[in-house]
Chains A and B, each alone.
Chain A
Amino acid sequence: MAFLAGDVYPCRSPMNVATVRRPLFLLVLVALSILPFVIQQTLGNAWLRTLDTAMLYIMLALGLNIVIGYAGLLDLGYIAFYAVGAYTYALLNSPQLLPLLSGTGYEGLLHTPIWIVLPLAAFLAGLFGMLLGAPTLKLRGDYLAIVTLGFGEIIRLLLRNLTRPVNITNGPIGINQIAPASFAGHRITSPVHLGSIELSSLHQYYFLFLVLVLCVILVSARLQDSRIGRAWIAIREDEIAAQAMGINTRNVKLMAFAMGASFGGVSGALFASYQGFVSPESFILMESVMVLAMVVLGGMGNIPGVILGAILISLTPEVLRDIVNPLQDRFLGERIVAPDDLRMLVFAMALILVMLLRPEGLWPSRRRKAEFHEADPVVTPGTRAGQHD
């Protein structure tokens, strides 16, 4: 019987997958390398900047996807981990802590290279993820959502108020003069010349972000098809059955919180470097909601779907700006509504439409599609509904 298994379900051998996928992957890679230049030439720098931001959101959305899409834990305070990453980078690459460190011989810490900050930010955010996870392990659904929402706000308020007795976060004003990422003496803000092509800082950030987005995708994909990934999904499907299958649900949930948070931390560190400035106002509840919307709209639990959701939502403001103003100029002669005001309206309508027409998201996984479109098994004759039967 064992030997038959291979014939009945021909699993594609690694060779096959590679021969199909490798050229496709290279093609996508080439396209992605050309993309920033095309965008800049045709649409301008503002769009390139939006593209860079979109990549930060892709990382965030993929991180939240682990927590909510795989493990089914509704986290409304996810942006807190972005904040942890951002402040980690900010504190280690700005003069903010100079008064504290001057004369101690540790001033060098304020120029910590990005290849150290990124893993550190991931680690710290992961730690905060566990910190959030530990007290919420027994909570589900609405209760979990409320506690995580509170956690997000606590982190934001902490950042606003960690100014006494020593000024760490600089309160609501935030941290300025954050040095951009640098590698081996090269600052990402100084242009690079490749023959006749000039790589501006926006281009360089694009490629830095691209590398990290690809890493995050790889990690997500590998986790999804792993022992731990299956355990996450099992918990989401039926926690009691998962326990009865030998899954230590406490540990496995903590892993989901930590892993998801660490993606947020990486994204946050990059954000601080890119923006050169961080303040608590970048980490309000609305941001958590936006990231959640990306995951839900795109297709919870499905990596391509989540990426699509992140791109669509982070490009919307830019698209609106490019469409609404010219339209108003042309047909009304004056500008009545600001594109930014329309943003929420458009999001709300998009979400309502998706929830009505495609509740599983624009690009769902097979599992999620099944969840929404095929009836659950009928209650069986002779059995009685009971919690643990």
Chain B
Amino acid sequence: MTEALLEIRGINKRFGGLHALNDVSLSIRRGEIYGLIGPNGAGKTTLFNVLTGLYQPDEGSFTFNGIDLFRKKPHVVVASGIARTFQNIRLFHNMTALENVMVGRHARAKAGILGAVLRSRRTQHEEAAIKQRAAQLLDYVGISHRADDIAKHLSYGDQRRLEIARALATDPILLALDEPAAGMNSTETESLKRLMQTIRDSGITILLIEHDVKLMMGLCDRIAVLDYGRKIAEGVPETIRTDPKVIEAYLGVAES
């Protein structure tokens, strides 16, 4: 499949004098794992933020699944099928793991105040379905035994998994993961890698930011490299690994 799911064109984002994203264009295909690497401060997270509507990009365009998503509100972005996780875990820390995932179902459910107050049959069904799906997703990412624990009591790795489950609860077409393996040991990273492959095999496209080059090379179908807000390379892992510009800007440091 080579159909583009997400078309990012000419995106610019400035913070005052800082040109955090400089004319970035990428095209992500349906069903692939697309990696985004680059040194600290390259603009990777900023790209996530403008894509998901948390920041307003200055210029450019996002076309996702045939819809224009440029400068759309975050909830619109989610509704159209993009879900994300955060580099610094942003769970609802004092809610249980299950409740966290249930919140993720918000966009795919309908019940309003009246439905909740009257507890109509439809609301009850919906609520039961939300709960069941949330439990299913916790199981899917492998933390079903922590369902009723307060999120912040979970181990670091489990919190990362919970964030993924919560994002999956929005029924995404594209899942954007911002450094999901940061701070994990190699065993945890390995099982996270398998989880990402399972997710991809289930038909969800993944956009992945990660500093672990070995992981990225083994996992991604294609990789783009950002440096100082510019895309300096894009391609399959083999070409990225040997690209002199990438080695100079990033790999040289990372692999030495």
Q: Is B217 interfacial (CB-CB < 8 Å)?
A: no
Chain B 98-119 against A: per-residue CB contact (8 Å), 1 yes, 0 no? Answer: 1100111111111111011101
Interface-located stretch among A171-179, A239-247, A265-273, A303-311: A239-247
Q: Is A297 interfacial (CB-CB < 8 Å)?
A: no
Q: Is A166 interfacial (CB-CB < 8 Å)?
A: no
What interface size band does chain A fall in? 35 or more
Q: Is B235 interfacial (CB-CB < 8 Å)?
A: no
Chain B residues with CB below 8 A from A8, complex form: 135, 139, 144-145, 147
Chain A residues with CB below 8 A from B110, complex form: 227
Most buried by A among B83, B126, B135, B140: B135
On whether the beta carbons of B109 and A227 are closer than 8 Å, the reply is: yes
On whether the beta carbons of A383 and B183 are closer than 8 Å, the reply is: yes
Q: Is A15 interfacial (CB-CB < 8 Å)?
A: no
On whether the beta carbons of B131 and A388 are closer than 8 Å, the reply is: no
- On whether A377 and B116 interact (CB within 8 A), knowing A5-B139, A5-B144, A382-B211, the answer reads no
Chain A 1-19 against B: per-residue CB contact (8 Å), 1 yes, 0 no? Answer: 1101110110100000000
Q: Please count the residue pairs between chain A and chain B whose beta carbons lie under 8 angstroms apart in the complex.
A: 180
Chain A residues with CB below 8 A from B90, complex form: 238, 240-241, 244
Among the listed B95, B102, B105, B148, which residue makes an inter-chain contact with A367, where contact means beta carbons less than 8 Å apart? Answer: B95
On whether the beta carbons of B116 and A227 are closer than 8 Å, the reply is: yes
Chain A 223-266 against B: per-residue CB contact (8 Å), 1 yes, 0 no? Answer: 10111111101100110111111111100000100010000000
Interface-located stretch among B29-37, B151-159, B225-233: B151-159
Interface-located stretch among A105-113, A337-345, A368-376: A368-376
Among the listed A2, A237, A385, which residue makes an inter-chain contact with B88, where contact means beta carbons less than 8 Å apart? Answer: A385
Bound CA–CA A8/B117 (angstroms): 29
B interface residues with partner A (beta carbon < 8 Å): 40, 45, 49, 52-55, 73-75, 78-79, 83-84, 86-95, 98-99, 102-113, 115-117, 119, 123, 126-127, 130-132, 135-136, 138-140, 144-145, 147-148, 150, 152-153, 156, 159, 166, 169-170, 178-179, 182-183, 211
- Could you write out 16 A-B pairs with CB less than 8 Å apart? A1-B136, A2-B135, A5-B138, A8-B145, A228-B112, A230-B106, A237-B92, A238-B92, A243-B74, A244-B74, A246-B104, A247-B75, A248-B73, A248-B75, A370-B152, A384-B40
Additional pairs, 18, CB under 8 Å, beyond known A1-B139, A379-B88, A384-B40: A6-B135, A8-B144, A8-B145, A9-B144, A222-B117, A226-B113, A226-B115, A228-B113, A230-B106, A237-B92, A238-B93, A241-B92, A245-B107, A246-B106, A380-B183, A381-B182, A383-B87, A385-B88
A-B residue pairs, 4 tightest by C-beta: A246-B107, A226-B116, A246-B78, A5-B135
A interface residues with partner B (beta carbon < 8 Å): 1-2, 4-6, 8-9, 11, 219, 222-223, 225-231, 233-234, 237-238, 240-249, 255, 259, 366-368, 370-371, 374, 376-377, 379-386, 388-389
